[in-house]
Structure 1
Amino acid sequence: MPRIKLCGLRRLVDIDYANQVQPDLVGVVFAPESFRAVTGDQAQRLRQRLDAKIPMVGVFTTTPLARIMTLVQAGIIQQVQLHGPINDDRVTALQAAKIPVMQAVTPVNATQSQANTVLLDNVNPGSGQPLAWSAIARPKRPFFLAGGLTPDNVTNAIQVLQPAGVDVSSGIETAGVKDFKKIQVFMRSVRNVNNN
């Protein structure tokens, strides 16, 4: 049964949407180059609003390790998602602190990360461009699938690659903001696959 991560949440209303549909994880972006980026203070307000049962994942590119640790220790994020070059030292340091780590990988380097989980994504994450699911080799370890997932294509993607989880951001947006109707349809699509 694939787990569901709704990523790129940045408004309080986005958290209200998540609380209603109950995904397995939500993601907040700390990468400054992303238009979805939030500050530590914003993330804290989002965490306070979020159902305590739903872990919040912090998404990072070049953020210093000490800053990531601070956000975890403050209880703002419960897991870490790393993008960019695979850096086993960062992964090992986070894991030593008992922090679950997800590493974004492309189909080419999916075997190289020592993270707890890998996230199979595009070279340009957050772009909304779908991966060619039928043309890629399925990683030999549990993985989350990202890369252009939408309410319309997620069922096919799950059937082809059988991921442990799915991660969506742009696919549940309209004009760059989260769209509750799209979120509902996405959740229903994944759960229907689970039930069949």
Structure 2
Amino acid sequence: MNLHQQPAAAVKICGIQDVEVLKSMINLPVDYVGVVFAKSRRRIEPKQAAELKEVLLAWTTFDRPKLTGGFVNPTMEELEQVMDAAALDVIQLHGQETPAFCEQVKQRFQTEVFKAFSFPKNESGTEAVDTTLKTLDNYVHTIDAILLDTYDPQYVGGSGHTFAWERIPTYAKWARNHGIELFVAGGLKPDNVQQLIQTYAPDGVDVSSGVETDGVKDIAKITAFVERVKQA
């Protein structure tokens, strides 16, 4: 056995809306289950999140996945309402939330905070990278992970498009230097996720539309995705 072997990347299945879909995942080593509270066709209400949390609390096969809620520029009141209903393990922020806001969220709710940074599908260039890195420096000590995603002008994630993956090493190095985890999202699916992991070794991957058929979560695709991540 290679003592220096990387631990398997964490898997986050996002956009879960249905209790039955979540129950069908109970035999899979999923690390995070994501629900969306921002404008999206996958948006759910706090009451639905509470029902999903009940299923997670009864999870026995593997370690229980952490329940993650996705928001875009939420108010504290909105977060309060969701946390009262469902007690999220992770609050994931996809808007223009400031470092001070992230820190306030972390302290107030004692949760992990993930901050998403989105890139246009085809954008590249060192200037854009430098600008983002300067921005990221302000978030050190206020977040637990960064999530790199493809920019979608309408919705929080779930665009189904990959961004320029050659950007990843720069951000991975930044994250490693600051003890922050790096997750990659955007256009991932069972047939490209192993290539991503073997090439760039992120700490975790996040999928939504890539495990859907006709806009509905597909347990066969979820299973294939999870297996390929854990094998990679």
TM exceeding 0.5: yes
Query: Of 41, 48, 68, which residue of structure 2 is paired with 1:42?
Result: 48
- Aligned position for 1:7: 14
Q: CA RMSD in A?
A: 1.7
- Aligned position for 2:144: 116
Letter aligned with residue 6 of structure 1: I
Query: Of 87, 90, 103, which residue of structure 1 is paired with 2:98?
Result: 87
1:73 CA displacement:
4.2
- Aligned position for 1:168: 207
1:75 CA displacement:
4.2
The 8 Å contact of residues 130 and 148 in structure 1, kept in 2 or not, is answered as yes
1:13 CA displacement:
1.7
Alignment of 1:30-179 (within 5 A): 30-31=37-38, 33-50=39-56, 51-52=58-59, 53-97=64-108, 98-106=110-118, 108=129, 109=132, 111-112=136-137, 113=139, 114-124=142-152, 125-139=157-171, 140-141=174-175, 142-179=181-218
The 8 Å contact of residues 103 and 119 in structure 1, kept in 2 or not, is answered as yes
Give unmatched runs, 5+ long, in structure 1.
none
1:106 CA displacement:
2.9
How many equivalent residue pairs? 192
Between the two proteins, what is the percent identity of the paired residues?
Answer: 33
What does the per-residue CA deviation read over 1:82-127, in whole Å, with 9 as the maximum and x for residues that have no partner? 0011411220111213221000013642525342110011111211
What does the per-residue CA deviation read over 1:121-169, in whole Å, with 9 as the maximum and x for residues that have no partner? 1111211101221355431213001011100000111122211000010
